[in-house]
Amino acid sequence: MTMDNSRKLAAEFIGTFWLVLGGCGSAVLAAGVPDVGIGYAGVALAFGLTVLTGAYALGHISGAHFNPAVTVGLFTAGRFPAKDVIPYIVVQVLGGIAAGAVLFYIASGASGFDASAGFASNGFGEHSPQGYSLGAGAVCELVMTFMFLIVILGATHHRAPVGFAGIAIGLALTLIHLISIPVTNTSVNPARSTAPALFAGMQYVQQLWLFWLAPLVGAALAGFVYRGMLEGEPEPPVVGRRS
């Protein structure tokens, strides 16, 4: 493994760690739905802020995926090499699990803490925040991830305004959470889903398949659609670029 690849994987680990710690941490420690705390809107904003800040801190190193679905979507769009897909996904999941462990330790400092009550896990049916069905959850996750990748691919296009991609992507993730927290607690990110489920118990682990399948399918479709219908002309070569 080259030093450059090591830097990229380290950035993806740290970025996914930050996303899970910030987003799930806000839900576990500060949400207080529906009585007190930051509520659904606050959690949605927290997830958006983790991606926004992570993108500007680490995007120049790894591209700031922080999400297996983003990696897959960028691959199907022709923006990411096949050889790096699995390594990125592995470190993303490991970063998420590390954040879950830190959050579990912090949350355990409060009397009465019970991870099996949810621990910011994703779910459908009886594990959906508002009791939404498997079908509703599947469609929600697929469509939300599809649109998330459309925003990412558009905001990072070579013709898009330079320097604003992180803002657009962070706000898109905030909006996605505002829509879908009541349905599935919002995944659109298999690494984010895996981390809390491992600490919450088998009842959540048994539903993880949906939060891998739907986001990956939605992201892959977005990559194909953007590449086939929206991409436009390829990026022109830079004058003076050396091979």
**pLDDT for 34:** 54
- CA separation (Å) from 143 to 24, 140, 223? 21, 5, 13
Q: Is 45 helix (H, G, I), strand (E, B) or coil?
A: helix
**Model pTM?**
0.92
The answer to whether the bond into 34 is cis (omega within 30° of 0) is yes
CA distance 114 to 90: 28
Domain ranges of the chain: 3-108+115-230
Considering the segment(s) 3-108+115-230 as one domain, its CATH architecture is Up-down Bundle (1.20)
105-122: pLDDT as tens digits: 999 999 889 999 999 999
Q: Is 112 helix (H, G, I), strand (E, B) or coil?
A: coil
With a cut of 70, list the residues of the chain below it in pLDDT: 1, 33-36, 233-243
CA distance 183 to 17: 24
**pLDDT for 109:** 95
Asked whether the beta carbons of 51 and 66 are under 8 A apart, the reply is yes
Q: Is 167 helix (H, G, I), strand (E, B) or coil?
A: helix
Whole-number average pLDDT of the chain: 93
**pLDDT for 240:** 43
Supply angle C-alpha 180, 181, 182, rounded to 5.
90
The answer to whether the bond into 234 is cis (omega within 30° of 0) is no
**pLDDT for 237:** 46
Buried b (16+ CB within 10 A) or exposed e, 133-148: eeebbbebbbbbbbbb
**pLDDT for 242:** 37
CA distance 199 to 187: 16
CA distance 64 to 174: 17
